[in-house]
């Protein structure tokens, strides 16, 4: 069975093609639209949380041979918390591919932090079951690359890290601009663009301007670091 267009587009954004598309459909199915024949993503979320934890722990352990256990734990907690997972989900526009019930859609479910975080962990589990641990590890490392590279616990958020990256190269601080605001007053959706002196930019959407700024900064920072590798 072919993937829906929004699911195929998500595959392009996360860099994984599913041999078993049913796994992705399950990962993107919220409880509000589940049926006995169409299970929700809660079981996959449970598994994905554990896969994510192992990959992040392994990456942090290998990245800094001098870090003590307490430092590693703080960095780990910052990278696997729900807020971070939701930001990563926004960066790949996972919300656009979610399968939600009508009431959840009307209440802004595609932008809700808990729904996005759980769905992202379910997608990680789907990749793990579809192609094995190496594929799941590669996915997590791709999506979390900029955040893992920060290194300094959770004291530097993506906006701070992008500013430091730009200033280290003699550029002015990044400039953020709200380019759109959609949705009802009780559940607005903000689109923010960040731009640096050299002309590169990135845009992100979220339920608050702060979240949109953080997501846009993380996307641009990851792009610039990848381009300079």
The pLDDT of residue 2 is above 70: no
Tokens encoding 126: 């789907």
Q: What was the pLDDT predicted at 98? A: 93
pLDDT tens digit string along 123-179? Answer: 999 999 999 999 999 999 999 988 887 665 444 678 888 988 899 899 999 999 999
104 near 30, Cβ under 8 Å?
A: yes
Closest CA to 213 of 157, 134, 169: 157
Q: What was the pLDDT predicted at 126? A: 98
Q: What was the pLDDT predicted at 66? A: 86
pLDDT tens digit string along 17-58? Answer: 999 999 999 999 999 998 888 899 999 999 999 999 999 999
Q: What was the pLDDT predicted at 154? A: 46
User: In which element (H, E) is residue 175 found?
Assistant: strand 175-182
pLDDT tens digit string along 47-80? Answer: 999 999 999 999 999 988 888 898 888 889 889 9
pLDDT tens digit string along 81-119? Answer: 988 899 899 888 899 999 999 888 888 888 888 899 999
CATH topology of domain 156-229: Double Stranded RNA Binding Domain (3.30.160)
Q: What was the pLDDT predicted at 161? A: 83
Separation of first and last alpha carbons in the chain? 38
Integer Cα distance of 174 and 136 in angstroms: 32
Strand partners, 176: 194
Q: What was the pLDDT predicted at 6? A: 86
Integer Cα distance of 184 and 186 in angstroms: 5
Q: Report, as residue numbers or ranges, the catalytic residues.
A: 49, 121
Q: Nearest 5 degrees, angle CA 85-CA 88-CA 92?
A: 140
Q: What was the pLDDT predicted at 155? A: 46
Tokens 């449970």 appear where? 46
CATH 1.10.1520.10 domain range(s) in the chain:
1-150
Q: What was the pLDDT predicted at 58? A: 95
| CB count in 10 Å sphere of residue 225 | 14
CATH 3.30.160.20 domain range(s) in the chain:
156-229
Q: What was the pLDDT predicted at 173? A: 93
1-150 CATH choice from 1.10.2020.10, 1.25.40.10, 2.40.30.170, 1.10.1520.10:
1.10.1520.10
Integer Cα distance of 42 and 44 in angstroms: 5
Q: What was the pLDDT predicted at 21? A: 94
pLDDT band of 121, cuts 50, 70, 90 = very high
Return the DSSP state at 174.
P
Q: Residue 73 burial by CB count (10 A; 0-12/13-18/19+): exposed, middle or buried?
A: middle
């Amino acid at each position: 069975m072919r993937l829906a267009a929004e699911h195929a587009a998500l595959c392009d954004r996360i860099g994984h093609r599913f041999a078993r598309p049913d796994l992705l459909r399950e990962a993107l199915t919220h409880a509000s639209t589940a049926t006995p024949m169409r299970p929700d993503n809660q079981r996959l979320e449970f598994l994905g949380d554990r896969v994510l934890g192992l990959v992040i722990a392994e990456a942090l352990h290998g990245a800094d041979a001098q870090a003590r256990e307490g430092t590693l734990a703080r960095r780990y907690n910052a990278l696997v918390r729900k807020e971070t997972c939701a930001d990563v989900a926004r960066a790949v526009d996972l919300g656009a591919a979610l399968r939600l019930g009508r009431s959840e859609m009307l209440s802004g479910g595609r932008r809700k932090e808990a729904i996005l975080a759980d769905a992202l962990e379910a997608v990680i589990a789907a990749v793990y079951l579809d192609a094995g641990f190496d594929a799941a590890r590669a996915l997590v490392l791709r999506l979390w690359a900029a955040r893992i590279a920060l290194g300094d616990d959770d004291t530097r958020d993506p906006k701070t890290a992008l500013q430091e990256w730009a200033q280290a190269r003699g550029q002015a601080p990044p400039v953020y601009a709200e380019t759109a605001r959609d949705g009802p007053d009780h559940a607005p959706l903000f689109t923010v663009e960040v731009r640096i002196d050299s002309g590169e930019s990135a845009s992100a959407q979220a339920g608050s301007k702060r979240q949109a700024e953080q997501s846009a900064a993380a996307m641009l920072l990851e792009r610039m670091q990848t381009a300079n590798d």
